[in-house]
Structure 1
Amino acid sequence: MGVSLRDVAERAGVSLATVSNVVNGYRPVGERTRRRVQTAVDELGYTPNLCARHLRRGRTGLIALAIPELNNPYFAELAEIAIREAGSLGYTLVMENTAADRTAELSLLGGSRRHVIDGLIFSPVRVGREEVLARAAGIPLVLIGEGVYDVPYDHIAIDNVAASHQAVWHLVGLGRRRIAFVGARPSDPRHSAHLRVRGYREALAEAGLAYRPELVAVTDRFGRLDGLRAMRTLLALDEPPDAVLGYNDLVAIGVLRAAAEAGRRVPEDVAVVGIDDIEEGRFGRPTLTTIAPAKEEIARLAVRRLVARIEGTGVTGPLSVQTLFRLVARESTTGGGPRS
């Protein structure tokens, strides 16, 4: 049989309530007593029954992370960090892949699955403010990404306008003048693609460069193949771009492939920048210059905030945070080794 709290109490020579307070962090306990209890825990190898603990509190111990693209390395890296953080706080994180499908997102907010989780970290794409307000009541919720604003829930994102603005200014500083954007989504003003195009256009205007619609490529999705196809079209223009900002690193990797196929040198003929700083971009040839969001901060803050909401500890009104990012200059724009 496993070691119980009563076994720990007998070994430490204290009451069962004292052991419970130490193990669960319910009430302050004197330092000498706390050390005696911890010594007994270590000697006996006691581990808490998290399932029983959650059930006593009317919870399942499960939280969900809902993302639109499970096969996107950015979300995979974000999820890995969130899983570790949830585990450190005594929760199990389960993944939900919505595939950016409206029905799946609505079901997640208002369907039966919400009753088996204690809270939800959600990156919405297809649902809007009204749907979130109507369906998410009663469940602890933290939003990540840019799909929904102006709702009374914690919201964590990067400043996409500023991020793409910085990427374009990096290219302008290198003397590039025909700068393209690959991965536009003009039909959806809530999407991060719309915000990144906005930052792109604002940077062009500040640099005194004309906005050229033919240099903005709309894509169906945001993968390598989308970047490849879009770049082939851009290279067929009478005046092809001398630089490209991809919506994300996957798009930019496709752009690099198309440039190589066409015999264009990177960065001599065309410089390329992505966004997300996925691991794949660090090992290609050339390595990819990128905007690196603070993925550790996004994931950890989202999990911590959600758990605080679930447990009702130290939270008041909704928190809106725009996390930091930085430009990481690599061979696809500098031609040399990586530098940040």
Structure 2
Amino acid sequence: MAAATLKDVAERAGVSIKTVSNVVRGAPRVSDTTRARVLRAVEELGYRPNPSARRLRTGRSGLIALVVPELATPYFAELAHHVRREANLLGLTVLTEESMGDTAEELRPANGVGASLLDGVILSPLRVTPDELASVTDEFPLVLLGERTYGRDRVVADHVLIDNVAAARDVTAHLTGLGRRRIAAIGVDHQGSATSRQRLEGYQRALHAAGLPFDPRLAPRVEEFDRRNGLLAMRSLAALPAAERPDAVFCFSDLLAVGAQRALHEAGLDIPGDVAVAGIDGSEEAGYSTPSLTSVVPDKAAIASLAVKCLAARIRSQAPLPFEVHVAPHWLAARESTVGGRHPVDA
């Protein structure tokens, strides 16, 4: 069977070939109703643009890359899903890469051999420096995700993030509002990452607002934001004398919190009776853990939408655009691990 063409899609959708081309290219001047009809016809006919022909015709491939530290982390896996969906609405195809926190890997899609095939990159960086980013963004469309580590006086790329300080403050205030007074923090890392620093700051601000002191013994250091490190850190806290043991713990990721819950189970401590547990990431796993995990939920759909639209605008622009910082919303999902009771999963 011959491959479907733009003409085939246009006839199926009842629109002009130019309209189909506009939808496939992600051009903005198409109504939502028409765009949906064209995309439905594209799906039904299995139409696939020819990247080589598109590149010759427009100077663009329609390919972008998403670079995240690790796809095994639920947060990044879920974020990748939203980015792919948003990109599809604009006629873009996403290639997903893992950097594993390596500077060279973070920059490779933008300045490596494959950069000539890409129109732009969405990057969640851990190690890359401002100078290294600036050398890329002068000539290549790039949008950053995650913590803003470069200071307000040096914006070197479009940036989409949540207010980590406010998010950490909100969840810690939730715990103090429940009457918890010895609140631990699991997530202070040895490398001093921006994520760790900002979430620690929000935690400390909430303690101060509640008139509670910061006790460094309740903030054990971790190597990674994963289940194992949450388990080990919580084991050390659970081993403290009863009078010194925390009655709540804020974990700087949901994975740390899941590990902490396991350690509390091993120690025979009740959640939330003895120790309330909260995390941050809003992962799907949080709602299915036992007990279900209270977590700060970053609006991943909004993050993805902002990032993709920023990148698409920069790709299409014929002139340099000023860099912008966009703050996506977050909210607290209070569940069994802090408020007790039974909270059925929305299936």
* TM-score, length-scaled by structure 2: 0.85
Counterpart of 2:168 (choices 148, 164, 171) is 164
Cα deviation for residue 112 of structure 1 reads: 2.0
Cα deviation for residue 114 of structure 1 reads: 1.9
Name the counterpart of 1:62: 63
Name the counterpart of 1:213: 216
Counterparts of 2:284 and 2:45 in 1: how far apart (Å)?
A: 38
Counterparts of 1:201 and 1:227 in 2: how far apart (Å)?
A: 20
Name the counterpart of 2:197: 194
Counterparts of 2:45 and 2:141 in 1: how far apart (Å)?
A: 34
Q: What SS is found at the alignment partner of 1:94?
A: strand
CA-to-aligned-CA distance 1:62-116 (integer Å, 9 cap, x gap): 1000001110000000001111221222111011100011232243443223222
User: Is residue 333 of structure 1 aligned with residue 330 of structure 2?
Assistant: no
Cα deviation for residue 147 of structure 1 reads: 5.1
Is 1:62–1:117's contact at 8 Å kept on the other side of the alignment?
yes
Unaligned runs of 5+ in 1: 13-17
Is 1:185–1:191's contact at 8 Å kept on the other side of the alignment?
no
User: Is residue 311 of structure 1 aligned with residue 316 of structure 2?
Assistant: yes
Counterparts of 2:180 and 2:110 in 1: how far apart (Å)?
A: 45
- For residues 125-274 of structure 1, the aligned pairs below 5 Å read 125-146=126-147, 148-149=149-150, 150-185=154-189, 187-188=191-192, 190-238=193-241, 239-274=244-279
The residue type equivalent to 2:74 in the other structure is P
Larger Rg belongs to: 1
Name the counterpart of 1:15: none
Call closer, same or farther: CA 1:72–1:54 in 2, change over 3 Å: same
Is 2:271–2:291's contact at 8 Å kept on the other side of the alignment?
yes
Counterparts of 1:128 and 1:265 in 2: how far apart (Å)?
A: 44
Counterpart of 1:24 (choices 8, 15, 21) is 21
* TM-score, length-scaled by structure 1: 0.86
Unaligned runs of 5+ in 2: none
Q: What SS is found at the alignment partner of 1:161?
A: helix
Name the counterpart of 1:49: 49
User: Is residue 281 of structure 1 aligned with residue 302 of structure 2?
Assistant: no
Is 2:67–2:97's contact at 8 Å kept on the other side of the alignment?
yes
Structure 1 window deviating more from structure 2 (52-61 vs 86-95): it is: 52-61
Is 1:125–1:147's contact at 8 Å kept on the other side of the alignment?
no
Matched-pair identity in %: 43
Call closer, same or farther: CA 1:334–1:87 in 2, change over 3 Å: same
Counterparts of 2:291 and 2:3 in 1: how far apart (Å)?
A: 55
Cα deviation for residue 5 of structure 1 reads: 5.4
The residue type equivalent to 1:179 in the other structure is I
Is 1:141–1:153's contact at 8 Å kept on the other side of the alignment?
yes
Call closer, same or farther: CA 1:179–1:145 in 2, change over 3 Å: same
Name the counterpart of 2:304: 299
CA-to-aligned-CA distance 1:128-160 (integer Å, 9 cap, x gap): 212211233211111100154332421100000
Call closer, same or farther: CA 1:7–1:242 in 2, change over 3 Å: closer
Name the counterpart of 2:114: 113
Query: Number of residue pairs matched?
Result: 324
Is 1:124–1:148's contact at 8 Å kept on the other side of the alignment?
no
Q: What SS is found at the alignment partner of 2:173?
A: helix
Counterparts of 2:199 and 2:320 in 1: how far apart (Å)?
A: 32
